[in-house]
Amino acid sequence: MVSTVNKTQLYSTRIDLAENTRLKVTEILNQTLAATLDLKTQTKQAHWNVKGMDFYQLHELFDEMATELEEYTDMVAERVTALAGTAMGTARIAAVNSILPEYPLDAVGGVEHVTALADRYGVYAKHLRAAIDTTDEMGDADTADLYTEISRTIDKRLWFLEAHLVK
């Protein structure tokens, strides 16, 4: 399957960012959209399949985290379209373009799911920080601010996950 992240078409807009900047920023945003959709579905995978003594607590935590990610997919996709790009948000596009590793489908216990999600949240958090820097350097403070908002919550969620893993 061919990557579609780099095939963004721009439409006419009165936004005062240069077309080349908008093109590059929408490519970054579409990469984030793919990863966010993937992380959301991986978080739901954990939510549906967690078992063990901490089932209820983790089941609720994972559902809350997935709901946050759903909001972020919308925010990222709408930023793409605000920049006169096309949001690339189908499940197939996300699967091809996500930066995240596949979720371990044999995970059962709470620690297995928490570890798997912590690993993926860590990769995602690193991507967000890089996107903050890149979009800020490109002169798109609004997109950098969007990434900063998402990054704050993702770091908090990573802390929540890692707190379960302390021995």
Secondary structure, 3-state, 75-143? HHHHHHHHCCCCCCCCHHHHHHHCCCCCCCCCCCEHHHHHHHHHHHHHHHHHHHHHHHHHHHHCCCHHH
Return mean pLDDT, the chain: 95
**DSSP state at residue 10:** P
CATH 3.40.50.300 fits 19-163, yes or no: no
Tokens of 98: 């996500």
On the question of pLDDT at 132 being above 80, the answer is yes
Q: Supply the pTM of this predicted model.
A: 0.94
**Strand-pair partners of 51:** 109
On the question of pLDDT at 102 being above 80, the answer is yes
> Going by C-beta distance under 8 Å and a sequence separation of 6 or more, which residues neighbour residue 6?
27
Report the half-sphere exposure of 120 (CA within 13 A, side-chain side): 26
On the question of pLDDT at 1 being above 60, the answer is no
